[in-house]
Every structure is written in structure tokens, then in C-alpha cells.
Structure 1
């Protein structure tokens, strides 16, 4: 038996040595470093299989095109808008009070130019949203650009595909980007007829399938539709039957998506072009930002919403959407209302929420009462428990599954997009959000939130304390893995 112990000790030593080499080979923040060491050391061999699937980063040559290819020239616009914001006489007519810092921050870090006079429609029901999307696509005469994390080969997915085929047959330019992991079961062959009719479709960054790519992280989590450069959609809904409440597992699917008509569409169109040119360089769109051009037609609208389209992802060291969330939280004086399917924030966001709550700000967070991913759900419960102890009102949504990613502060500033309140959206995935500076839109989102509370249960610190030790253990253990979930 002695030789068995020797072999075991050798495996443990080699595993520990391999874990150190693996984790420190790439630069990570300290929390993720310790989380991966925990997985690799406690799960010999198996931990490395998990790491190969979840932990590997994208090589620089895959990120380079996203940083540099088809970079739109926006510096002059950003500079001019900054000068306008410095003018006290005009800044109050441009954006809501207290938002100047956010506008400058996004302009400096993301080249996110401020657009004005947009018309915004908010959708919280999948059927209503897709009815509207299909109506706009049917009216398209020039181009349809679609980018989704999930484009399933199911009923609604095929409805969308057939409509896109019809438009391609009419001579309309159709381009589709989908994520191979988020669209599990959807392959290139699904789009074969669309391509035969003149349309184009490609998985994000050219990954052929989730299996051959073998990487869970660094996915294209964005959800973008742009029609003729005039109408855009962004938010939390994906293309799949479950997002219309057709899956028994989740029941009613409660999400939030917005429709933009106006110059705000330029931001979505710019983002799509960057992603398309990185994904399909052989069929790149040779177009720079120029209002009045084919892809950026002059917007003739008279709405009231000023907004910025902000994207973030592992192609940048600046976590732009997360920092935008932080600026909103830190700027709030009265209330902060958040909806997210996952609540796994890093320490900076947790500290900001805690300071706000202890400063008398009405902080509310709404999450689902049902899981879609076991470890993620338990980690969310752990952080919900922490927030409840600090006096934050935590609600579990009961009427199906809430997937909305929204935040509203003080009835003035709001955001809707694809980014969850978790590490994955902050650091690991490619995301896009609309940050809106309009009191009417903020009030509409608050009204929606208050309506959702009617279908939610407030969770108190005492309720969490009364949970079984086993449930608390699962929550605490899942929290240890939160930097890599």
C-alpha cells in the first residue's frame, strides 16, 4: 500500500504545482486568482477540465480586431459635447441634473457620444416585443442587422429566420451574429437558406460551435437589432421560445427591452459594425460614422430622451458598464432601484450599495425566486442575504422568471441593457447598455418596478437567518466561486 500513498502524494504535489502555473500564467484580479486556485487544488484533474472550459482567456489576436478594426472616428463629437456640458446655460437643456459626469465618463472611456431627442418605447412582455420587431423588419428597405447571445432553432427562432429570408430575397441586406454557446443547438446550417438568398450569418468571432470552441467565458451577451439605421432595439430579451413564456420550467418570462427611434440608434449601429467586422473580416462593412450616410441616416425625430449607448467587454481593461452602475449608485440621493436575474457583484459595487443604504437612500433589488443555474442562484441568495442585513430591500419575483437588467436612480437617470449585476457581465462577457437621461423614462421604469413588487416577496434578514444550515452552506460555498461564475 505504501506505493499508493506515494503516487497520491505525487499527484497532489504535481496538481498544486500545475494549479499555480496555470492560474498565474495570465493576469487576473486577486479574487478570481484565489477562486481558481481553490477549484484546481480541491478538485485534482477535474479542476483542470473545468478550467479548460471556463477559465481560459481569449488570446490577444482574437481581441485585437475588437480594439482596432473599423474604429469609428468620434473624437470631435465627444469634444464638442464636452464643451456644451461645460456651458451652464445649455447643459440643463441637454441632460437631466447631475448626469454631466456620466456623459463625460462614457465619452472618454467608450467614445459613447450623447444623442438627443430620441423616442423610447419600453417592452416588458416578449410577445409584444417580437410583434413590434417583426413589424419593423417587414418595413425594412435597406438593411437589417441582428446580434444576439441566443438565437434558438425553435418556433420563434424559425419565425424570425423565415422573415429574414423573405427580406433577403427582396434584396435587403441581412447580417446576423449569434453566440455559439448562448445559441446551443443552433449551427451554421440553420442559416443556410438565408445565406443562399444573399443574407449573411456568422457566429461571434467565428467560433464554429460551443463544443469545438470549448470556452464558456468571453461570450457575446449583447442583444442588438438595427433596422435601416433608423430603429434599434436593446435589452434583456433573446430570440427563443422561453423568452415568450413558452417553457414550463420558467413560466412567464419577465424582461425589459427598449426600442429606440432617433440618433441613439447610431450607437447600436456602430457597435454592430465593430462586432461584424471582427467576426467576419472577409465581408467587412466599410463604413465610418458619418450622419447622413447609408448606415447612419439623418434622424428626424422630436422625442425627449437623451441617451448614450455603452458597450463593455474583455477587449478593454475598463469595466465601463460596471463603472457606470457605480456612478449611478454613488450619485443617488433618494432611491436606487435595481432588477437583475443574478446578484453577484464585486466588492466595489457592494460597498457602494452599502454606503447608499446607510446614508438613507431607498435601495431596492429584485431577483428571481427560481434558479436557472444552481451555483449562480445560491451565490445570488448569499449576496441578497448580505444586502438585507444592511437594510436594502430585497425582493424575490414570484410570477415566473425575471431577467430584466435595469437600474433607476432618483427618478432621473436609468439604464436598460444586457449587463447583469455580476462578475460575468462586468469582466467576462461582451455587453451593451443604454444609459438614459430622461425623467419621464425613469418614471415609467419606476412604475413598472412598483407593479412588479405586487408579484414579489420582500426578503428580510430574519428570513435568511432562519434558513437551514445546509442551505446556508451551499450559499456560502457558491459565494467563494463568485469571481468565476
Structure 2
């Protein structure tokens, strides 16, 4: 009985409970204000109704995704007082403007260090004009050039990435940069943490950046201070605070590891035991990653430094040249194909992550194979996938059979029937698939952190590795076909029809508000 009360006390007085209660108090205050105004002041209520209508018109004319607009317009028309107050609180805040301005300035000031090699672009123009146009777009509007002389090693599961990462970290001589959405104590992080501490003692510069919400309830309070005391420079991106704020929506969902400027890791694998199947949460956890070596690593080096300096807030720029690779033995002298590591920010007007995906879909001729844990596509993605399938392209999607979030799966299922009717084939993995992969026509692939949902495409900081005519492209394809044959079940129109009325109703309602979830 004593254990029960002790456990209950730990829950009641925990940081998580405090945050939930404070957020709940703010929501209740908004609801109380709504009902008070509705019941006791018709003049104010009608004023807010008019204001809500005006806001709905304003949002309708904003250059935003239509589904995101709809998710706000419906509450503004249905409950104008509550929705109007919530909209002003969530969209007009100094913290959001400050981070946005800092991000714009940092990207502008670092642009000279991310110059596109025009010879590489000229070669690409001759080889494939479609890829040339994409590379030119990402360079000009995303800020990241495309490279040759870069090798890519593909990892089919998190365990493979972990083994390679440990091996490469142990070889570090100058610096280690880590940027992750989730860090959780366990076998994976404990081993990496030990290596980082040892490297810091050897004089290697170690920097760690982790997201304030992704790791909120997984790490001890003020864990960053503990790491600092161990010689690891550490920042928490956008620490989660119990305040209703739009900036809390913008999370750092990236997974980046850079070692000495010559080696980088990217993909869906966070630093927690479920990603390497040392802990089972939703059946077998299928994830993927890549290790790149060579010139293309520089994009990830600069991507990390940009974010680090924004979070650091000191306004100081690094001597970026000091992070160029010194050990040329680790740099390939030549390598087939082209590699484009790129990032995407929610604080600008460019949806780089989505446009890269759309480019692959629109230029596919034979097939497009996609894996994603969260299937909540917007109208542009659905239209592109449907047109590709109707035109004869083999379009296949793999999603989780065991979801980590019930409501996300419920929304995803609302798209199944629509996509199948368009000719898209959908399969469910007999576990949880967290990989975010695109592969098309034996020549193009993307492995990264970008899901097919609104959060990844519009609200999160993301990153990925685009490959063209790199040998690893065929490994991505082979991996897809292997799990398709051995670990997946195809979803049919009959399966969709068997869903209960209640299940379909829940999906329909959740789908309306999916851009805000």
C-alpha cells in the first residue's frame, strides 16, 4: 500500500501533472469567458460573432493550406467567442515573431557558406533536367546545395544505424554535433552518452540539441545542466512551457548526427530503446536511416549550426570554416550520383519538404514506393498520388498496422478508401513502421524525418537526404519490397467498407481538425 501512495504522489506532484493542470486552467478560463459572454452580454457576444466572421474571411484569404484554414473557420463560425480569443492568443505572440526573425536572419547570414557548385549543377542539367530544376529550387529557396563525391549507406532498421553510429562516434577527433527530437534514457542513450562524456574529456567539442517537447517527460528535470557539467555543450530547443502559444507547435523534429564534418547520420531513428527494439511498445519497430560521407555532410553541419545559434541566442556567428573536415581519409574522392541533404522550416513561406515529395510523385514514370507512420496528406499530395496512379504509375504506401497514436490512425483510415479508389495500393505493416522513405524509378530516393502529415509538412523543423542515381537507392527499394512481401497486409475496399459507422464518424470529425492536432 505504501508503494501505491508513493507512486500516486510522484504522479500528482510530477512536472507533467503541473503542466497539464496549468494548460487545463487556461482552457477552462477561455471556456468560462465564452459562457459568461454568451449568457450575460449579448452585445459583446454579437461583437465577437462579427469579429469571428471577419477573422474567417481574413483566414480564407491568407496564403495557407486550405485544410488548415478550414480547421480554424469552422470553430470561428460555430463558437465565435471561444475561437476568436483562442486564435488571437495562439497566433499573435512575441515569442513566435522573435524566433521567426532570428531564423530568417541566421539563414541569410549563413547563405555564403552554402554556395552551390555550378559545375555540379551544369552536369545535372545535362543528365536530368527534372532533378536539375529540383536542385536549383532547393538551393535558391531552401538554402541547401546538391553535391557529388558523397557516399550513402542505408540502414534497414534502427539497430544497424545504432551500431554504425557507435563505431563512428568512437572515431571522433574534433567535434560531434547531435540534434534529436527524442532522447530517452536506456541502453541506446546510455551507451552514446558514455561515449560523448569520454570524447569531451579527450578535448573533442561535443554539442547536443534536443527538443523540449519530444523529450519533455523522458529526461530528468534540467538534464541539460547535468550534461553541461559533464563537458557536453547542450541546449533544449523551444522548452515546453505551460502556456497556450503557437510557438509550442513548432518542434525540432530533426535527427542529425555530424562527426568531424566528414560523416553524418539522418533518418527516422531517435535516441531511445524502442527505435532499436530493445524495448517493445507497438510490436516490431521498423525504422530506417542513412550515413553519408563526403561533401554533402556540409549541409548537415551548417543546418545544425544554424539551429544551435538561434537557440543559443547570443547573436554570435561561429567561425564556420573550423568545422570543415580535416581528415581527408574519411572523404570519398569520387562517388556515383548526387546527394542533397536539405532542411525545412515552419517559419518561412516555403514548404520544401512537401515540394520535394511532390516533385518525386509528379516525375515518376514507373513506380513510387512510400513508407510513412502518419498518413494525413493534404489535397495536393492526394491529387498528385491519384494522378500518378491513374496515369499508370505503380503507387504503393506502407503504414503501421499497430499505431502509436490511435487518433492519427483513425484519420489515416479516412483516406484509405479515397486513395484506393484513385488506384493507390495501401499496405499495413505488422508492427509499427516509423520510416519516412520515398523511392521511385530505380534512381531517386529520400530518407529523412518528414512524415506525410500536417505537422511534418507545415509545423515542424525537418530534414532529409535526397539521393539521385546513388547505389543506396536500390537498397531502399529492395527493403520496401522485402517488408511488403514478408510483413505487410494489403488494405482492400472491402476492409474499408467493414469499418463501423462509429469508427467512420470519429475519423470524419478528427479529419476536419487534423491540421491542428
Q: Which TM-score applies when normalising by structure 1?
A: 0.88
Deviations 1:242-284 (A, max 9, x none): 2122444312110111011111111110100111111113385
Structure 2 residue matching 1:258: 3-state secondary structure: strand
**Are 1:440 and 2:476 matched, yes or no?**
no
Conserved 8 A contact 1:417-1:434: yes
For 2:414 and 2:70, locate their aligned partners in 1 and report how far apart those are by CA, in whole Å. Answer: 19
> 2-side partners of 1:6 and 1:59: how far apart?
31
Question: Residue 353 of structure 1 corresponds to which residue in structure 2?
Answer: 385
Between the aligned partners of 1:152 and 1:40, the Cα distance in structure 2 is 39
SS at match of 1:239: coil
Q: Is the 8 A contact 1:244 1:252 kept in 2?
A: no
Normalising by structure 2, report the TM-score: 0.83
Change (3 A) 1:345 1:370: same
Equivalent residue in structure 2 for 1:106, among 101, 126, 138 = 138
1:144/1:228 contact within 8 Å kept:
yes
Bigger shift: residues 186-195 or 265-274: 186-195
- Would you say 1:33 and 2:69 are equivalent positions? yes
Instruction: Tell me which of 279, 288, 300 is aligned to 1:268.
Output: 300
Q: C-alpha deviations, 1:95-134, integer Å up to 9, x for none?
A: x685222222212222321211322111122222212212
2:489 equivalent to 1:457: yes
1:342 aligns with 2:342: no
* Residues 429 and 488 in structure 2, CA contact (< 8 A), matched pair in contact too: yes
Corresponding residue to 1:369 among 377, 401, 408: 401
The secondary structure found in structure 1 opposite 2:476 is helix
Quote the offset at 1:304 in angstroms: 2.5
1:62 and 2:99 equivalent? Answer: yes
SS at match of 1:343: coil
Distance 1:6 1:116 in 2: 63
Tell me if 1:218 matches 2:254.
no
Cα distance in 2 between the residues matched to 1:467 and 1:8 = 44
CA change 1:44–1:124 in 2 (3 A) is farther
2:331 pairs with 1:295: no
| Structure 1: gaps spanning 5 or more residues | none
Q: C-alpha distance in 1, partners of 2:305/2:114?
A: 18
Could you tell me which residue of structure 2 aligns to residue 421 of structure 1?
452
**Is the 1:15–1:41 contact (alpha carbons within 8 Å) kept by the matching residues of 2?**
no
Q: Which residue of 1 aligns with 2:416?
A: 384
Find the residue that maps to 1:175 and give its secondary structure.
strand
Match of 2:432 among 389, 401, 405: 401
SS at match of 1:268: helix
Out of 166, 169, 184, the residue aligned to residue 134 of structure 1 is: 166
SS at match of 1:360: coil
Q: Which residue of 1 aligns with 2:228?
A: 195
Q: CA deviation at 1:285?
A: 5.2
CA spacing shift, 1:484–1:140, aligned 2, 3 Å: same
Q: Give the stretch that moved more between structures: 43-52 or 248-257.
A: 43-52
1:263-318 C-alpha deviation (Å, 9 max, x unpaired): 11111101001111111133855134x5xx44344563143242111111122201
Distance of aligned partners of 1:139 and 1:275 in 2 relative to their CA distance in 1, 3 Å threshold = same
Matched residue count: 470
1:139–1:467: structure 2 CA closer, same or farther, 3 Å change rule? same
Please give the secondary structure, in 2, of the residue aligned with 1:201: strand
| 1:82 matched residue in structure 2 | 121
Distance 2:57 2:197 in 1: 48
Counterpart in the other structure of 2:196: 164
Q: CA offsets, 1:140-174, max 9 Å, x none?
A: 11100000111123443333223212211221101
Q: Cα distance, 1:74 vs. partner?
A: 5.0
SS, match of residue 311 in structure 1: strand
Could you tell me which runs of 5 or more consecutive residues in structure 2 were left unpaired when the two chains were aligned: 1-34
2:183 maps to which of 134, 138, 151: 151
**Aligned match for 1:230, one of 262, 266, 270:** 262
Q: Normalized per residue, which structure has more helix?
A: 2
Using a 3 Å threshold, how does the CA distance of structure 1 residues 338 and 25 change in structure 2: closer, same or farther?
Answer: same
Q: 1:54 to 1:418 in 2, by over 3 A?
A: farther
For residues 308 and 120 of structure 1, what CA distance do their matches in structure 2 show? 11
CA contact (8 A) 2:52 2:81 kept: no
Shift of 1:220: 0.6
Contact 1:336 1:363 (C-alpha < 8 Å) held by counterparts: yes
Are the equivalent residues in 2 in contact too, given 1:230–1:261 (CA < 8 A)?
yes
How many Å apart are 1:397 and its aligned residue?
Answer: 0.8
Structure 1 stretch 262-271 or stretch 66-75: which is displaced more? Answer: 66-75
After TM superposition, give the deviation of residue 84 of structure 1 in Å: 3.8
Q: Structure 1 residues 361, 56: CA separation in 2 closer, same or farther (over 3 Å shift)?
A: farther
Aligned ranges for residues 172-187 of structure 1 at < 5 Å? 172-185=204-217, 186=219
CA distance in 2, matches of 1:349, 1:417: 18
